[in-house]
Structure 1
């Protein structure tokens, strides 16, 4: 009986010791589980960021580069051959060969000029001056299509063709069947040598702008040329110049249309074709 009582006294103590041990072990395991859970959560967050970055990079690489419609014409004709010999004989009958304007890129800009002085002795003389300049625009992803750039330049050339103070009989009229759009500006400018009749035809064909200047005067007492005749002559020469641009880019004629759009389509100013005999717009 005494042994049993002693065992009964020891058993509760043993049981309490076992329960305390289990509680301590369980409490020690909780922080470990929390740490493990925290690590698992952080790892998932990093994986999500990496995945999002990869998807963003893939989306950017899949986006197409900006494009613009290629310009229609990729070359210019030889400038001193854009007007036929017959027309030159009519407009500048005493002219020598044309003087080609200076240009470091004749595929983008080119020009040629002719001058003629028909001396009639004591009756005076007839002066004529003809100039043709061409400027081609490439398409550019930042500036736009070559045709639009050429149209803007066409409008600028028409504005620049307006005479300065002292000019008279100013007229501006459209020119039919000459490229996509064309106009002629004409006026009279009186100088000490005589009265000059000035005609400027500006024409756009696709992405090329053709500017043709033609003026004439009767000097030393010779009669002043008829303005209407000079306008018709200028329009005829402009039509030939536009046709030459089209032919130079006709694949059936051995030309080559424009290729792919360029990264830079900013053309320089037209080739210099000035002549000391050309009348100034100033009085």
Structure 2
């Protein structure tokens, strides 16, 4: 530190004593500040955290992880022509995409097939694939919200109106979790064999409804065969979701927009979708 130049000559002895006495309290105050500063450093070293640090740590602990998947594939393109040829042989090109206000969050496509054998009766098939994606937001992480919706879909399918001989079984090798629900549904057009596969992969839920019926005297299709085909198609649809996000999930444009609440409320429950599955049969009966 630069020290001011001393004045020429010497100050009186009494004056020097006063100056020396005044310097003592200043030195004591300085020493006290130095001591307090040291104790603060010791407190920090011993684990004490500032309010800002605590708030930052709390915010980090409460932050939700970004959703893994940021988009959905085109609903009518999730199944190959080969698979469609097996499930809806007379309606491979009949796919119709449902309306969606946000194609990155929800979508569906359905197909129908009527193999009309005249007086020998007809074989009817109906297939629907619904996709629903959840973002991470204030309600939780996307995959957790998807899991909750997955469970609701399964329970809804199990309690479908008019369902008989309901059976439920897990489906392996299809996403992170998948369940198949099968039941018989009697309608005036015939006896329908309903198969519903609900699968979750990360933050996306895939619901596949597939049913078949023998109309105008034709025998009912095999429920076991329909279930086998439905499982294959569900696995393929899940793979299409993963493939659509292979170049990046959250980085591809996901944002906590709250899109999960809207699709959950707008999307038809399994029981409703099951009731819809019987509607095409009415038109099929007319055609036959």
| Aligned counterpart for 1:267 among listed residues 261, 267, 272 | 261
TM-score by length of 2: 0.70
Q: Which residue of 2 aligns with 1:239?
A: 235
Higher Rg of the two aligned structures = 1
Matched, 1:99 2:96: yes
Distance 1:263 1:61, change over 3 A: farther
In the TM superposition, residue 264 of structure 1 has moved relative to its aligned partner by 3.0
Q: Which residue of 1 aligns with 2:11?
A: none
In the TM superposition, residue 271 of structure 1 has moved relative to its aligned partner by 5.5
Q: Which residue of 1 aligns with 2:193?
A: 197
Matched, 1:114 2:114: no
CA–CA separation in structure 2 for the residues paired with 1:238 and 1:189:
21
In the TM superposition, residue 75 of structure 1 has moved relative to its aligned partner by 0.5
The answer (yes or no) to whether the contact 1:124–1:222 under 8 Å persists in 2 is yes
In the TM superposition, residue 62 of structure 1 has moved relative to its aligned partner by 8.0
TM-score by length of 1: 0.72
In the TM superposition, residue 161 of structure 1 has moved relative to its aligned partner by 0.7
Post-superposition Cα deviations, 1:32-88, rounded to whole Å, max 9, x if no partner, equal xxxxxxxxxxxxxxxxxxxxxxxxxx9459833452111110000010010110010
Post-superposition Cα deviations, 1:70-117, rounded to whole Å, max 9, x if no partner, equal 111000001001011001011001113310011010000011000011
The answer (yes or no) to whether the contact 1:130–1:212 under 8 Å persists in 2 is yes
The answer (yes or no) to whether the contact 1:110–1:271 under 8 Å persists in 2 is no
Query: What secondary structure is seen at the aligned counterpart in 2 of 1:224?
Result: coil
Q: Which residue of 2 aligns with 1:161?
A: 157
CA–CA separation in structure 2 for the residues paired with 1:215 and 1:60:
59
Gaps of 5+ in 2: 1-49, 283-288
Q: Which residue of 2 aligns with 1:176?
A: 172
Distance 1:109 1:187, change over 3 A: same
Q: How many residues align?
A: 217
Q: Which residue of 2 aligns with 1:150?
A: 146
Q: Which residue of 1 aligns with 2:15?
A: none
Distance 1:104 1:166, change over 3 A: closer
CA–CA separation in structure 2 for the residues paired with 1:164 and 1:147:
26
CA–CA separation in structure 2 for the residues paired with 1:271 and 1:168:
24
| Aligned counterpart for 2:204 among listed residues 195, 203, 208 | 208
Q: Which residue of 1 aligns with 2:280?
A: 277
